[in-house]
Chain A
Amino acid sequence: MSTDVSTHTKATPPSGEGGAPPTGTPVVRVLLDGVRRNMRQYGMLFALGLIVLLFQIWTGGDLLLPRNVSNLVLQNSYILILAIGMMIVIISGHIDLSVGSLMALVGGVGAVLMVEHHLAWPVAVLLTLLLGAVAGALQGFFIAYVGIPSFIVTLAGMLLFRGLTEIFLKGQTLGPFPEGMQRVANGFLPEVGPETNYHNITLLLGLGLAGYVVLQELRDRRRQREFTLDTLPTGLFALKVTALVAAVLVTTLLLASYKGAPVVLLILAVLLVGFGYVMRNAVIGRHVYAIGGNLPAAKLSGVKDRKVTFAVFLNMGMLAALAGLVFAARFNAASPKAGVNFELEAIAAAFIGGASMSGGVGTVLGAIIGGLVLGVLNNGMNLVGVGTDWQQVIKGLVLLAAVGFDVWNKRRAGA
């Protein structure tokens, strides 16, 4: 017998194993840890800032003109709505290629109901949202319960919904929409109160939001303390909160000095907060992460994976319907060609915003950031007169760079 493994022949006390925390000055470590954990999101936030700055200079200050900021929101609202749903789909480990076509179908049905049958617009909106939910649920049924891969099901859906739209609209565009509909998609919040140089409601909302952000950050910090987690040093924390508040207030002022906050911005904010909360705190949201992160483990933990998958696609259908309505109302007509390639924009937004191809990773906020990166690129390049040909090239490169950076970063971390 040679000498080897049996060095611990007798009674080793239950000593620990090598899980010692990394050493280094706490401040640096906390920062590095935080940044590393949310590398893609921080990276993209930084990139977004950089892109904004770049175009602000390049356009001679046109990018952040109040009117253009308003425009930016209106132009990208439907992609952002799609991106929220798409992010959730991708977190669950699936993909949805049908949303662009579904948008067109919903817009078409909405137009027929409102323009041809003169249905009251709120009723028509409810019906069309329901239609989106049903379409999403159907796809979800085939994916979750029949077991056909989502790529195939939604590819079929993409063809099917597009074809149905053409049939339904007989190849024609249909409009105009009732005024109420248009106001939702293109309009701004109503104005009340005394005459100022700014839009009062928008200002109040902005101040409220800033207050909420501060409270939220303080609460998080208190929680972290409670669990003896590492927290940012007070100075840095103050800096972070100040930066957040400043960003909120600047955006508010920009919007308020034009016509105020667009109605869709409010819708977007509600979706962002609502879905963000659900994905973070609701059981179903956590189950979405679990099935995307490790499906067998989730199943063995009692997660009803089929129900969750079904719900994810139902939800995506409803959000696609909402995006379709906003899109149709914005252009005041339903077209059979509406929403072509929008699914790809939404998917790109989700990946730029931190989603992972294998699922289980990503945040709703990330989807918004990713969507804004693409949106600002579009808008900025339009302002400086870059053609759509080059716009596509540049957006492709940005997507490749964003995901490539993430892959590289992960490999380097060895995780």
Chain B
Amino acid sequence: MTSAAPGSPAPPGPVLEMRSIVKTFPGVKALSEVTLSVRRGEVHALCGENGAGKSTLMKVLSGVHPHGSYEGEILFDGEPCHFKDIRASEQRGIVIIHQELALVPHLSIAENVFLGNEPARRGIIDWRASLRRASALLKRVGLDDHPETRVADIGVGKQQLVEIAKALAKDVRLLILDEPTAALNDEDSAKLLRLMRELKDQGITSIIISHKLNEIARIADSVTILRDGRSIETLDVNDPGTTEERIIRGMVGRDLDSRFPDRTPYTGETDARPALEVRDWTVRHPLDRGRRVVDGVSLQVRRGEIVGIAGLMGAGRTELAMSVFGRSYGHYERGSVLKDGREVRTRTVPEAVANGIAYVTEDRKHYGLDLGDSVARNVSLASLGDLARRGVVDGHEERKVAERYRRTMNIKTPNVLEPVGRLSGGNQQKVVLSKWILTGPDVLILDEPTRGVDVGAKFEIYTVIDRLAAEGKAILFISSELPELLGMCDRVYTMAAGRLTGEVAREAATQEVLMRHMTQDTPVPPVATAGTAPTEGQHA
């Protein structure tokens, strides 16, 4: 099997054109009038904030969202495409490699490479042909492991190469990579980027979704920027005018269309003892222990202060929050947590809760609520100990408490015994918030508290957060929406690739400044953060 030969006669013009793509999900317009044009044989980068529509666009292209579920036109090699599923797009040579690799860990490299595409005669696999061809493909991607090695026994970097070999086995002509280096270390990343160059020389066009601007500068020929489901512009990377600032400006600039409660900024002394301080927090990936998901993060939040954490997908924000909250994520390597200047134990969730820390998850369906259970029981779950006397829950008190939160948080439900799964997203979020406010915390870590919440409920949630800060609670506010962070926070930390890359005060914060910090994987010298105390002194 030889791959698409570079010498084959190719019609002129772009290899791929997506015209006026519109994709709507119930209640949300994910893509509106997106246009993407990819030249033959180039590496084309896709850039944009979380939720800008990059992945959705690629799902439309690869047939995950089948023809008919979107509007607009796709031309591949000048011919219109109507893919009904992934198989159909793969037959045309369009292969997508997702961020979460789609390999079967207990099968060999060769078996994975030909999965669903096995060299066989009358249903019986031809192992010799399989090994021979796998070896040839592995050589092309620069992997020297034996094709009979189990995939589980090789590292993530090599697994990524196996995915590419798998794509090559399908005669790929347009390779789509969704954040291919997000899970790789520097060395593996460099290797992968080099391979993409080589594939380009072999005539394979690729589209790469990436957050790392230095990466784009190194390998891409052009870059298309998406924002809020629209294609903003396509730039030629080799044009001297295409600076990182230029790309950042395209990525942000989202309208400040949400309303925020009038908030008096934090006025406490800046040298006040922080309610929560995290020092040198370092956590390794739960499965891939060689990789640091959170790396040497130190931060502090004072009472009455709302502090944001900004970062793109894979920056390690949720991982930081969950590992601080009772080590609920990954493998702890080092670091300490201090409450009011005193080191506290937060090795388990009960310990964290006992020390007045609460974590409101970004994924309320999986980590926040028991959807089949009632509003009252969901609200009380983390505080049952306080509602019980000698091990018996005071059901009367429980319902009274739930009823109180229903009123103060304005949770719209016929009654508190209603299963929480029947509530709308915004009201479910209010239930999760109520549950944690009920535990009486001093520190609240809010992870994307307005995700999947409509505008009206958003405002209500902002108001609640504001009130909590006014009551003297310390708030750590993780969000992907920069306007939200700008509207609510006194200070914003930025993260990228597991590291803290900046700290920006309210006055200095703009979307551009934050995005600049979020797209670097090394700390940026605090030029723009004049006036605040940056996280001085990396506490050992």
Interface of A toward B, CB cutoff 8 Å: 1-2, 4-6, 8-21, 223, 227-230, 280-284, 286-287, 289-290, 293-294, 296-304, 360-361, 415
Contact = CB atoms under 8 A, between A and B. Distances in A.
B414 interface: yes
A65 B503 CA distance: 82
A44 B141 CA distance: 61
Given A294-B369, A297-B367, A301-B382, 13 more contacts: A14-B410, A16-B410, A17-B426, A18-B424, A19-B412, A286-B377, A286-B384, A293-B373, A297-B361, A297-B370, A300-B322, A300-B328, A415-B422
Contacts of B325: 300
B313 to A, nearest CB: 20
Interface in B475-503: none
B456 A14 contact: yes
A304 B351 CA distance: 11
B393 A282 contact: yes
Contacts of B414: 21, 230
Given A10-B259, A14-B459, A19-B413, A360 B373 contact: yes
B28 to A, nearest CB: 8
B381 A286 contact: yes
Given A229-B417, A282-B392, A282-B393, A300 B454 contact: no
B115 interface: no
A386 B372 CA distance: 41
The 10 tightest CB contacts between A and B, nearest first, are A19-B412, A293-B370, A301-B382, A21-B414, A294-B370, A302-B349, A14-B459, A302-B350, A15-B456, A11-B259
Nearest to A13: B456
A17 B430 CA distance: 13
B391 A415 contact: no
26 contacts: A2-B33, A4-B29, A5-B229, A6-B255, A6-B257, A8-B455, A11-B259, A17-B412, A17-B454, A19-B413, A20-B412, A228-B415, A229-B417, A282-B388, A282-B393, A283-B393, A290-B381, A293-B370, A297-B366, A297-B368, A297-B381, A300-B328, A300-B349, A301-B435, A304-B350, A415-B422
A281 B393 contact: yes
Secondary structure dominating the interface of A: loop
A10 B373 contact: no
Contacts of A301: 349, 381-382, 435
A406 B377 CA distance: 23
Interface stretch (B156-164, B218-226, B395-403): B395-403
B372 A9 contact: no
B281 interface: no
A8 B427 contact: no
Contacts of B391: 282-284
B261 to A, nearest CB: 9
Contacts of A16: 410, 412, 456
A296 B366 contact: yes
B384 A17 contact: no
A307 to B, nearest CB: 11
A14 B422 CA distance: 21
Given A294-B366, A303-B381, A17 B457 contact: yes
A12 B369 contact: no
A287 B257 contact: no
B255 A9 contact: yes
A299 B456 contact: no
Interface residues of B, number: 64
B459 A293 contact: no
B469 interface: no
A12 B228 CA distance: 20
Nearest to B368: A297
B265 to A, nearest CB: 21
B371 A294 contact: yes
Given A18-B424, A282-B391, A302-B349, A12 B368 contact: no
A371 to B, nearest CB: 24
A281 B392 contact: yes
Nearest to A305: B349
Contacts of B328: 299-300
B303 to A, nearest CB: 23
A299 B329 CA distance: 11
A66 to B, nearest CB: 38
B440 interface: no
B455 to A, nearest CB: 5
A290 B368 CA distance: 11
Interface in B372-396: 372-373, 377, 381-382, 384-385, 388, 391-393, 395-396
B523 interface: no
A299 B327 CA distance: 11
Nearest to A361: B372
Nearest to B349: A302
Contacts of A19: 412-413, 423-424, 427
Interface string B297-323: 000000000000000000000000010
B385 A293 contact: no
Contacts of B257: 6, 8-10
Contacts of B28: 5
A6 B359 CA distance: 31
A4 B399 CA distance: 42
A359 to B, nearest CB: 10
A245 B29 CA distance: 58
A360 B460 CA distance: 31
A227 B349 CA distance: 32
Given A227-B416, A281-B395, A301-B435, A289 B427 contact: no
